[in-house]
């Protein structure tokens, strides 16, 4: 897939999709349409969730699978049930129970657990199997080309969940589909099929650009549809989505007049919880390549996964409250005090002035410092960068080599990935990440990174760590990954000489590909200043870390057979190196294409 | 094979050195040792009567003949060569003579007599502090000189002689113990002199990891080398590592981080007033970690250090009061 297409939702990207004049868009109104209210409002999600829902369809209700109904056990992995406010809270609402319907072609990496099984359980399908032969796909709203993290979906992507969800309910509120679609977006077609079944008015697809001018939203997405849930009766003004999608057909679920509005919002939030719940390691199998098949990703990633993240994690902290909930302090007072201590320690480490009680492990990590920075790290992780982690359970226990893309002007991806693993996989030894010389020996920063867990990148160090059953994170792009300009963000550089493959072969440990999105926008590299005076190849000119959302996707482990002999086989090493690189590339592009806004 | 025998004769050169004074009590307490022979220019004080003393000047012209005779007479099973200069020396040429030429003479005699086992201490400093080296230097890592630092370069020369000797006389079991900086109240070496200062300049923005080994542990390791069946090189390091700033503070020293250029000036100034702690070339040791991998000693020598790094450093404060 062309980069243009992949990055199509990237507002920074030149050559984004051409704007289609509204007038030129086909308009499709469907039966049962209610008069469209032009000023549609997005109520605060919380309110939506609190509304009592009446199950519109008993049948659908009965078949409504919650995640708990997932027939395939996810061994050892707590199936994240981010539907916290969803089905559990409102058992009467089948909508909520609808698990993201997985497309058959869904790549394994994003497998949502027992997808086919779920199909059967899907109220959607069971409600109207015939009419929707193409069920998982059919109700999607937009063209295949449009993809973003917006739950409302694109193309044949099952990520069309909210809509799919809404339609079965279709006896509920007025459904109006008004998809002014892109010429190339097969939006109208699926909808036309779907809508007649909707005996209900509530769902309105409002393709016309929203009153909130796209211009006002610098980060808006081109041509990605957005869903708005608008239970009427909510006078409270919507907090406008700051990152909405300009000129995209936008779906609004507007169950006007139905007091018993099904709670659609929770679905949005609860969307596809168990991205990472695939417990079966796909040994040796690279991730399938969703984009290469022209398939949009199996699911949309939204910030709604954050709760999933938390449910999955050992950390029983309150769920992440993303931006929509208004400003919340980044840190509690106690957390602030603790963080201040941690920061003091960090500055002392930075200056090379550690105290006499400083204790470090064999590779220089200061556990006390890490612990004291924990509140701050958690706040940054949960609230500032709102890290979404998927597939953490794929990381095998014991030693493994996690291979990730390196990005951003400052190497904060290492600590963040380390923190993510610490949160999600408390059973593993704290992961150590390997840092290239230029960074490891950079004055100040190198020391701090070392105290936080970085290890100088060298085969000997990696082998020793692996012998100790420590997961080792490597960034094979090295300094190249950090020194590429912002315009080349997320374009993988050469993966070194495949040193990590040799190490994996020699140590007999699996390689886990990891894609990290968010670093490039958090610390964009604006310029490279000469830094030879400080002993670094360049000084990055960047901004203070920006609150871009982060997504970390772990892929299926790749087992490396062959031992030392394979490590000496340069062709093998190169091949596997390329394979890992391609896998990460695909995961990256997939994440990017599904990302709903940057911040 | 020495290890299999019940009675032994052990020779020691440099018995009055820090290491010698740590080793002798252990040898005296070892029931498997019948006789201890000390080779030196004068009889070391506080050495009990059972220790046989043989007067020998390793630097005298034509000492090899005397040495050969002495070694043959002694009928040694093992020889410790500890005659190295660690204390402050104003005549660097003497130290060089003793370490390099003295070892040369000793090796010539030991080769001729075929001493079954030769045990020589060395330093992990020889691995150097380099940006590109792995975190833990294995025994196989190449050694490097430090320009302008006598006590490093002479020991490097000794190591070269030893490796040539080991190649030439495969019958002689040569054991080289590379010690991390030895600390303790009884030690006097460049490192302990560093941590006996009030303040030590360090390099701003760097805080490399260091190791030390306590003198008791060092003596124990030397003693263990007598009984092991293994041979070759062993890194003898203490337990744990510490950032240099933390390590200095544990010994009651205040590290003063100075920016590179400022530090250069500071060192020049301290040298001018006779407070020289380290030449500029040693500054790499304040920038890059220099750690040695002690796993081989643990495995083959059964040497496990008793004192962790911070406690070992704390013994330096105790002495200062």
This model of the complex carries an ipTM of 0.87
- Distance CA(A306)–CA(A541), nearest Å, equals 31
**pLDDT, greater one: A491 or A465:** A465
Asked if A443 lies within 8 A of B205 by C-beta distance, the reply is yes
CATH numeric code, B2-320: 3.40.50.720
Banded pLDDT at B64 (limits 50, 70, 90):
confident
B46 φψ region: left (φ > 0), alpha (ψ -120 to 50), beta (else):
left
Q: Are residues A455 and A579 in the same domain?
A: yes
Distance from CA of A464 to the nearest CA of B (A): 9
| Residues in A touching B136 (Cβ below 8 Å) | 362, 460, 464
| C-beta separation of B174 from B10 below 8 A | no
Which pLDDT band holds residue A412 (cuts at 50, 70, 90)? confident
A585–chain B nearest CA distance, Å = 30
Query: Which residues of chain B are within 8 Å of residue A458 when distances are taken between CB atoms?
Result: 132-135
Q: Does B246 contact A354 at a Cβ distance shorter than 8 Å?
A: yes
* Residue B272 confidence (pLDDT) above 70: yes
Using one digit for the tens of pLDDT, what is the confidence trace for A9-53?
Answer: 555 554 444 444 444 444 333 333 343 433 333 333 433 333 444
pLDDT of residue A151: 36
Closest by Cβ to A443, choosing from B204, B243, B289: B204
Please name the member of B135, B242, B245 whose beta carbon is closest to the beta carbon of A352.
B245
DSSP strands (E only) in A488-548: 511-517, 527-530, 538-541
Q: Which of A364, A366, A437, A532 has the most B C-beta neighbours within 10 Å, making it the best mutation to test the interface with B? A: A364
Selected for mutation to probe chain A from B129, B142, B206, B207 (highest A CB count within 10 Å) is B207
**Which residues of chain A are within 8 Å of residue B209 when distances are taken between CB atoms?**
360, 364
* CB-CB under 8 Å, B209 with A460: no
What whole-number distance in Å separates Cα of residue B38 and Cα of residue B49?
11
Listed range (A241-255, A323-337, B22-36, B149-163) with the worst mean pLDDT: A241-255
Kindly indicate the confidence band of residue A578, based on its pLDDT and cuts at 50, 70 and 90: very high
- Taking an 8 Å cut-off on Cβ atoms, the answer to whether A351 and B246 are in contact is no
CB nearest A441 (choices: B131, B136, B257)? B131
- Residue B277: pLDDT band (50, 70, 90) is low
The β-bridge partners of A226 are: A250
SS3 labels along A123-152:
HHHHHCCCCCCCHHHHCCCECCCCCCCCCC
- Whether residue B132 and residue A437 make contact (CB cut-off 8 A), yes or no, is yes
Contact by Cβ (8 Å): B10, B27: yes
- For residue B132, the chain A residue with the least C-alpha distance is A437
Alpha helix segments (H runs only) across B172-308: 190-195, 215-227, 244-250, 260-272, 295-296
Asked if the C-beta of A464 comes within 8 angstroms of chain B's C-beta atoms, the answer is yes
Indicate the residue of B134, B209, B243 with minimum beta-carbon distance to A458.
B134
Of residues A452, A416, A458, the one with CA closest to residue A434: A458
Task: Measure CA B214 to chain center.
Answer: 12
A470 vs A544: CA distance, rounded Å:
32
The answer to whether B78 and B64 have CB atoms below 8 angstroms apart is: no
Inter-chain touch B205–A464, beta carbons under 8 Å = no
Q: Which of A356, A363, A439, A468 to mutate to test the interface with B (most CBs of B within 10 A)?
A: A356
Query: CB B245 to CB A362 under 8 A?
Result: no
The token pair that represents A472 in the structure block:
């080792």
Nearest CA in chain A to B240: A362
Within a domain: A371: no
**Would residue A338 count as lying in a domain?**
no
Asked whether residue A224 is assigned to any structural domain, the reply reads yes
Integer angstrom CA distances of residue B152 from A129, A231, B190, B294: 83, 80, 10, 20
- Under an 8 A CB cutoff, do B207 and A464 touch? no
Contact A455 B204 (CB under 8 A): no
**Three-state secondary structure call for residue B270:** helix
Residue whose tokens read 């003393």: B53
- Residue B178: beta bridge partners? B122, B235
Q: What SS3 state is found at A302?
A: coil
Query: Are B204 and A360 inside 8 Å of each other by CB?
Result: no
Do residue A358 and residue B206 have CB atoms under 8 angstroms apart? no
Token pair in block for residue A42: 């997005």
A315 against A494, higher pLDDT: A494
The answer on pLDDT for A219 being more than 70 is: no
DSSP structural state of residue A276? G
Q: How far from A561 is each of A400, A460, A579, CA to CA, in Å?
A: 13, 20, 15
* End residue of a domain, out of A256, A276, A296: A276
The verdict on residue A363 lying in a domain is no
**Best interface-test mutation with B: which of A358, A433, A450, A467 has the largest number of B CBs within 10 A?**
A358
> Is residue A302 one of the residues assigned to a domain?
no
| Cβ–Cβ contact A358 with B under 8 A | yes
pLDDT at A414 over 60: yes
Nearest CA-CA distance, residue B250 and chain A, Å:
5
Q: Structural domain of residue A528, as residue ranges?
A: 380-594
Is some CB atom of chain B closer than 8 A to the CB atom of A462? no
Point out the domain boundary residue: A276, A302, A319.
A276
The verdict on residue A60 lying in a domain is yes
Distance (Å, rounded) from C-alpha A229 to C-alpha A41?
8
| A350:B205 CB<8 A | yes
The whole-number average pLDDT for the span A489-515 is 90
- Per the CB < 8 Å rule, is A352 touching B241? no
| Contact yes or no for B202 and A352 at CB 8 A | yes
The reported pLDDT for the residue numbered B36 is: 93
Residue after which a domain boundary falls, among A276, A291, A318: A276
| Residues belonging to chain B with any Cβ–Cβ distance to chain A shorter than 8 Å | 131-136, 138, 202-207, 209, 240-246, 249-250, 255, 257, 287-289, 310
pLDDT band at B47 (very low <50, low <70, confident <90, very high): confident
Highest mean pLDDT among A335-349, A551-565, B297-311: B297-311
Is pLDDT at A171 greater than 80 in this prediction? Answer: no
In chain A, residues with a C-beta closer than 8 Å to the C-beta of B255 are 352-353
Q: Compute the average pLDDT of residues A79-97.
A: 34
Task: Please check whether residue A222 lies inside any domain of the structure.
Answer: yes
CB contact under 8 A, A455 and B135: yes
Contacts of A355 in chain B (CB under 8 A): 246, 249
* The pLDDT of residue A204 is above 50: no
- Over residues B124-137, the mean pLDDT reads 92
**Residue A265, pLDDT above cutoff 80:** no
Query: Residue A562 belongs to a domain with what CATH number?
Result: 3.40.1130.10
- A367 to chain B, any CB pair closer than 8 A? The answer is no
| Half-sphere exposure for A267 (CA within 13 Å, toward CB) | 34
Using one digit for the tens of pLDDT, what is the confidence trace for A268-278? 333 333 333 33
Closest CA to A475 of A526, A448, A446, A439: A439
Q: Which two structure tokens, joined as six digits, stand for B302?
A: 């059964």
CB distance A358–B203 less than 8 Å? no
Which pLDDT value is given to residue B278?
63
Mean of the pLDDT values across residues A512-518?
92
Bridge-based pairing state of the strands B182-183 and B213-214: parallel
| Chain A stretch 420-439, residues whose beta carbon is closer than 8 A to a beta carbon of chain B | 437
Highest mean pLDDT among A96-105, B195-204, B212-221: B212-221
What phi and psi, each to the nearest 5 degrees, are found at residue B200? Answer: -130, 125
Q: Does A455 touch chain B (CB under 8 A)?
A: yes
Q: Measured between alpha carbons, how far is A457 from A464 in angstroms, rounded to an integer? A: 12
Which residue of A352, A359, A461 is in closest CB contact with B204? A352
A356 close contact with B: CB closer than 8 A? yes
Find, among B254, B236, B252, the residue nearest to B320 by Cα: B252
- The C-alpha atoms of residue A573 and residue A560 are separated, in whole angstroms, by 10
Domain count, chain A: 2
Taking the Cβ of residue A441 and every Cβ of chain B, the question of whether any pair is shorter than 8 Å is answered with: yes
What pLDDT does residue A421 have?
92
Contact call for B207 and A354, based on CB within 8 A = yes
Chain A CB contacts of B205 below 8 Å: 350-352, 442-444, 446-447, 534
Contact between B138 and A460 using a beta-carbon 8 Å cutoff:
yes
Question: Going by C-beta distance under 8 Å and a sequence separation of 6 or more, which residues neighbour residue A443?
Answer: A534, A535, A536, B204, B205, B206
Question: Which range, of A168-177, A340-349, B72-81, B190-199, averages the lowest pLDDT?
Answer: A168-177
Q: Which residues in chain B have their CB less than 8 angstroms from residue A443's CB? A: 204-206
For B254, the enclosing helix (H) or strand (E) is strand B254-258
How far apart CA B225 and CA B78 sit, in angstroms, is 10
Which pair of tokens denotes residue B264? Answer: 């250069």
Q: Which residues contact A149 (CB under 8 A, 6 or more apart)?
A: A300, A301, A302, A303, A594, A595, A596, A597
- Residue A447 at interface with chain B, using a CB cutoff of 8 Å: yes
Q: A460 pLDDT band (50/70/90 cuts)? A: very high
Nearest to A360 among B133, B242, B249 (CB): B242
Mark whether A272 and A385 lie in a shared domain. Answer: no
């Amino acid at each position: 897939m062309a980069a243009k297409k992949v990055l199509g939702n990237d507002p920074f990207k030149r050559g984004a999709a051409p704007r289609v004049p509204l007038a030129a868009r086909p308009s499709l109104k469907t039966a049962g349409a209610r008069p469209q209210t032009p000023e549609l409002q997005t109520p605060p999600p919380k309110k939506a969730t609190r509304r009592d829902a009446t199950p519109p369809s008993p049948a659908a209700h009965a078949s409504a699978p919650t995640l708990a109904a997932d027939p395939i056990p996810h061994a050892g992995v707590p199936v994240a049930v981010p539907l916290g406010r969803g089905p559990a809270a409102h058992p009467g609402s089948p909508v909520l129970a609808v698990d993201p319907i997985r497309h058959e072609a869904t790549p394994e990496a994003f497998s949502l657990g027992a997808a086919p099984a779920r199909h059967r359980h899907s109220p959607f399908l069971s409600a109207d199997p015939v009419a929707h032969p193409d069920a998982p796909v059919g109700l999607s709203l937009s063209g295949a080309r449009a993809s973003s993290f917006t739950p409302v979906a694109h193309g044949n992507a099952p990520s069309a969940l909210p809509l799919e969800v809404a339609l079965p309910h279709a006896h509920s509120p007025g459904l109006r589909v008004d998809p002014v679609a892109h010429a190339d977006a097969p939006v109208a077609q699926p909808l036309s099929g779907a809508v007649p079944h909707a005996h209900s008015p509530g769902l309105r697809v409002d393709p016309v650009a929203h009153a909130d001018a796209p211009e006002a939203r610098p980060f808006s997405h081109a041509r990605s549809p957005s869903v708005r849930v608008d239970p009427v009766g909510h006078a409270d003004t919507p907090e406008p989505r700051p990152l909405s999608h300009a000129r995209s057909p936008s779906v609004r679920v507007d169950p006007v007049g139905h007091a018993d509005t099904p709670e659609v919002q929770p679905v949005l939030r609860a969307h596809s919880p168990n991205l990472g719940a695939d417990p079966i390691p796909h040994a040796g199998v690279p991730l399938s390549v969703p984009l290469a098949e022209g398939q949009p990703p199996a699911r949309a990633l939204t910030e709604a996964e954050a709760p999933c993240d938390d449910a999955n994690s050992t950390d029983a902290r309150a769920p992440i409250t993303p931006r929509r909930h208004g400003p919340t302090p980044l840190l509690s007072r106690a957390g602030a005090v603790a963080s201040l201590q941690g920061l003091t320690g960090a500055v002392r480490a930075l200056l090379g002035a550690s105290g006499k009680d400083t204790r470090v492990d064999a590779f220089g990590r200061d556990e006390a410092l890490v612990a004291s920075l924990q509140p701050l790290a958690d706040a940054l992780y949960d609230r500032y960068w709102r890290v979404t982690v998927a597939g953490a359970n794929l990381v095998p226990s014991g030693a493994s080599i996690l291979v990730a893309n390196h990005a951003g002007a400052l190497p904060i991806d290492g600590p963040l990935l380390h923190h993510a693993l610490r949160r999600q996989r408390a059973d593993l030894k704290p992961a150590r990440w390997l840092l290239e010389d230029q960074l490891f020996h950079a004055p100040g920063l190198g020391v701090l990174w070392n105290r936080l867990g970085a290890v100088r990148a060298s085969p000997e160090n990696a082998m020793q760590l692996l012998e100790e059953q420590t997961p080792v994170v490597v960034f094979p792009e090295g300094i190249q990954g950090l020194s590429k300009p912002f315009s080349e963000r997320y374009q993988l550089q050469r993966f070194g000489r495949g040193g990590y493959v040799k190490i994996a072969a020699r140590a007999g440990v699996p390689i886990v590909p990891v894609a990290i999105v968010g670093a490039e926008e958090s610390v964009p590299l604006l310029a490279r200043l000469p830094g030879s005076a400080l002993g670094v190849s360049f000084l990055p000119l960047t901004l203070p870390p920006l609150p871009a959302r982060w997504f970390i996707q772990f892929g299926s482990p790749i087992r490396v057979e062959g031992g030392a002999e394979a490590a000496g086989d340069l062709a093998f090493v190169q091949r596997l190196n390329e394979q890992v690189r391609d896998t990460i590339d695909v995961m990256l592009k997939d994440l990017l294409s599904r990302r709903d806004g940057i911040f | 094979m020495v290890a299999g025998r019940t009675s032994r004769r052990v020779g020691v050169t440099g018995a009055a050195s820090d290491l010698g004074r740590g080793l002798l009590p252990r040898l005296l307490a070892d029931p498997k040792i019948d006789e201890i022979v000390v080779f030196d220019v004068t009889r070391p004080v506080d050495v009990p009567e059972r220790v046989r003393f043989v007067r020998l000047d390793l630097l005298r012209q034509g000492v090899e003949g005397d040495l050969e005779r002495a070694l043959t007479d002694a009928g040694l099973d093992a020889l410790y060569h500890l005659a190295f200069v660690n204390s402050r020396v104003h005549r660097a040429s003497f130290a060089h003579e003793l370490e390099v030429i003295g070892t040369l003479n000793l090796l010539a005699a030991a080769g001729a007599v075929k001493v079954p086992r030769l045990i020589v201490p060395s330093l992990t400093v020889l691995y150097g502090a380099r940006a590109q080296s792995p975190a833990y230097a294995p025994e196989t890592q190449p050694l490097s000189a430090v320009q302008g630092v006598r006590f490093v370069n002479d020991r490097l020369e000794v190591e070269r002689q030893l490796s040539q000797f080991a190649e030439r006389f495969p019958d002689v079991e040569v054991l080289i113990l590379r010690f991390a900086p030895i600390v303790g109240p009884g030690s006097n070496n460049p490192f302990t002199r560093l941590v006996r200062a009030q303040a030590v300049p360090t390099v701003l923005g760097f805080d490399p990891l260091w190791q030390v080994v306590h003198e008791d542990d060092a003596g124990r390791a030397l003693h263990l080398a007598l009984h092991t069946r293994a041979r070759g090189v062993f890194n003898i390091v203490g337990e744990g590592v510490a950032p240099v700033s933390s390590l200095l503070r544990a010994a009651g020293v205040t590290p003063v981080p100075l920016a590179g250029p400022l530090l250069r000036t500071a060192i020049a100034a301290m040298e001018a007033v006779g407070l020289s702690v380290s030449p500029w070339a040693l500054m790499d040791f304040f920038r890059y970690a220099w750690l040695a991998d002690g796993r081989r000693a643990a495995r083959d020598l059964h040497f496990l250090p008793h004192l962790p790094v911070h406690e070992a450093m704390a013994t330096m404060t105790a002495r200062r009061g």
